[in-house]
Structure 1
Amino acid sequence: MRAMVLQEGYGIEYLKPQDRPVVEPGPGQVALAMKAASLNYRDLATVTGAFGRARLPLVPLSDGCGVVTAVGAGVTRVAVGDRVAPLFFQGWFAGEPTPQALGTALGSPIDGCAQEVMVLSEQGVSKAPANLTDAEVACLPCAALTAWRGLFAEGNVKPGDWVLCQGTGGVSILALQFAKAAGARVIITSSSDEKLERAKELGADFGINYRTTPDWATAARKITGGRGVDYVVEVGGADTFTQSLAAIRLGGNIVVIGLLSGMMKDMNVAAIFGANAHITGITVGSRTNFEDMVRAIEANDIHPLVDKRFALEDAGSAFTAMKAGEHFGKIVLDIG
């Protein structure tokens, strides 16, 4: 079977196709014929070494969709023919995260979804929403679940709340879709007026171009009548966190998800307690969170936005497109 493997070094140029033997599932395991996989910023950082040196060789990508083709002895969660999504964390099933559970992520340290066949524990897969295509299912395990957990499992977004989403990548667009399904009002930021218009077509109530309006926190407060937003989906990191603090209402929530602009910056700690801010760091979620999200996706007929598609062997071009910020929503590899 074919796999895209990071070999010999770090960088998109080191991602190469490789033939690998197919492994039969053992007791408690399932074999998946992979149909699609999607890219996240984490995958780009892993391939380029931005998050440190992962072990090599490595098959990247944490998010995918597959069909069960064989099961080992004792498997009861799924059956041959079921369409499933591999879980981002293969060892986090419910409750609070543990260091052990957070060490079981696909795409590093465990080989990920950029391959034709995967063999995983039956505990590490969940049935896919019936209303989604394979490409759409492949957007769920990391990006969608991160947005879901931040807004609903850890947060409590209600009808009428104001949610500010930073940018138009996968997590932010899915957060927009989830928030609108819950009856919230959404402000979205981008450096592109074209992308802001596309976000409004998906339901965003207001858009702020942070290039032409660098003080977007003040603009967001003005939109909310001076009160501030209830939630910020914080994907920017070091360069946006201070403005997120300025944008929230007294007692508002910042859901810290990403670090696109960096990890470290001086921080005015007084601004945190002065805002009575609730700051929550989000590292994807558990299997229970995933299955709660699947029910909501089916009930509300929510469809992740797939913006660009590439063949498995063209994964390098997919990563190049992500690095250039060309996407709106998700980038997907078609596998089977």
Structure 2
Amino acid sequence: MALPATIREYRSQGVSHHDFIIQNVTLSKPRTNEVTIKIHAVSLQYRDLAVSKARYPGQKEKPVPCSDGAGEIVAVGKDVKGWKIGDRVSPNFALDHIHGDVTEAIKNTGLGGQIDGVLREYINVPAHSLVRIPDYLTYEEASTLPCAALTAYNALHGPVPLKGGDYVLVLGTGGVSIFGAQIALASGATVIITSSSDAKLEVAKKLGVQHLINYNTNPNWEDEVLKITQGRGVDHIIEVGGIDTIQKSMKAVRYAGQVHIIGYVSGGDSGIPIRPAIHKAITFRAILIGSVTQFEDMNRLFITRQVHPVVDKVFPFEEAIEGYSYLESQKHVGKVVIKVTKN
């Protein structure tokens, strides 16, 4: 197919998403080790809101937003092996995170923050960053995988992977949380989920989540978790609340359990209580997305269990600002997606 000479892309202005602009730019040819991807869909995440306000640590000034996209290869550099035009792919969140631990250099290849992202019609990326997306997923579904899904997978299948029969506590019903529930269920765990909304909890129930807690009507949700687990506590916690929920999570986790620190949406102004953490031998692990290798491993699990991402709402490319506003409203369950192509 003939590639366009110019493409449309969004550009952050560093104030808020309401000030995004769409501009036309020249599409360059891929370098020898790169491919060109026609982006079909992009998913949004909490980080994108921070970047839009220039509040994300180490971000580029006025970047092309968004890290999570899915599309098809439309051009291949001459030195690229193993990929061809027509392959359905996503670039990894951090382009250079191939395997192993993250480093500062790897972190600085994070799409949509440290470097320009995927909220555009086409993008050139190095071939080593590519992951093949499952054939059974739509582009809209697949666009949700690079950050939210992989973060949850890295948490639950990291150095201390969950086992069938484990209890997993998931805080909230946002993107990472819903994926955490789905991955835990697909791995044979029992899941407990919290939310302020009975309607959102009902969505989780339909996914197969066994225990639902509304933290508005049950503010001492950590005690309810202990009742469910007969006083033992859960094996893993997807902790997205932050400082204001961490003490409750510490009570809810079992001795020598795993608390995976992923977000801080609840805010707060105090730190982790060190003494109780030591006395309970709790492991706290902060998660910074994951590698290409982990992405491939996760996709094998998804294919085996036929896991479908939960897409709450899809906005057309021209309404990306409205998509951001919907994400910011926190009315969603699962993921908010921008459809870039019209076909």
Cα displacement (A) at 1:263: 6.5
Classify 1:105/1:328 alpha carbon distance in 2 versus 1 (closer, same or farther; 3 Å).
Answer: same
* One-letter amino acid matched to 1:46: V
Count of residues in correspondence between the two structures = 335
* One-letter amino acid matched to 1:148: Y
1:3 and 2:9 equivalent?
Answer: yes
Q: Find the partner of 1:329 among 311, 324, 334.
A: 334
Distance, in Å, in 2 between the alignment partners of 1:83 and 1:145 is 18
Cα displacement (A) at 1:86: 1.0
Question: Structure 2 regions of 5+ residues with no counterpart?
Answer: 1-6
Cα displacement (A) at 1:53: 7.2
1:238 and 2:240 equivalent?
Answer: no
Cα displacement (A) at 1:50: 3.2
SS in 1 for 2:272: coil
Distance, in Å, in 1 between the alignment partners of 2:180 and 2:43 is 17
1:71 and 2:80 equivalent?
Answer: no
Partner of 1:47: 52
Partner of 2:321: 316
Q: Find the partner of 1:167 among 164, 172, 194.
A: 172
Cα displacement (A) at 1:129: 1.1
Cα displacement (A) at 1:21: 1.0
* One-letter amino acid matched to 1:190: S
Classify 1:104/1:51 alpha carbon distance in 2 versus 1 (closer, same or farther; 3 Å).
Answer: same
Partner of 1:202: 207
Matches within 5 A, 1:22-171: 22-52=27-57, 54-171=59-176
Contact 2:58 2:113 in 1 (8 A): no
Cα displacement (A) at 1:51: 2.6
Cα displacement (A) at 1:284: 0.3
Q: Deviations over 1:162-213 (max 9, x none)?
A: 0000000010101101100111000000000111111011011111111111
Give structure 1 regions of 4+ aligned residues with deviation exceeding 4 angstroms: none
Q: Kindly report the root-mean-square deviation, in angstroms, between the aligned alpha carbons of the 2 structures.
A: 1.2
Percent identical among aligned pairs is 40
Classify 1:63/1:32 alpha carbon distance in 2 versus 1 (closer, same or farther; 3 Å).
Answer: same
Contact 1:166 1:190 in 2 (8 A): yes
TM-score by length of 2: 0.95
1:223 and 2:231 equivalent?
Answer: no
Matches within 5 A, 1:221-300: 221-262=226-267, 264-300=269-305
Cα displacement (A) at 1:55: 2.8
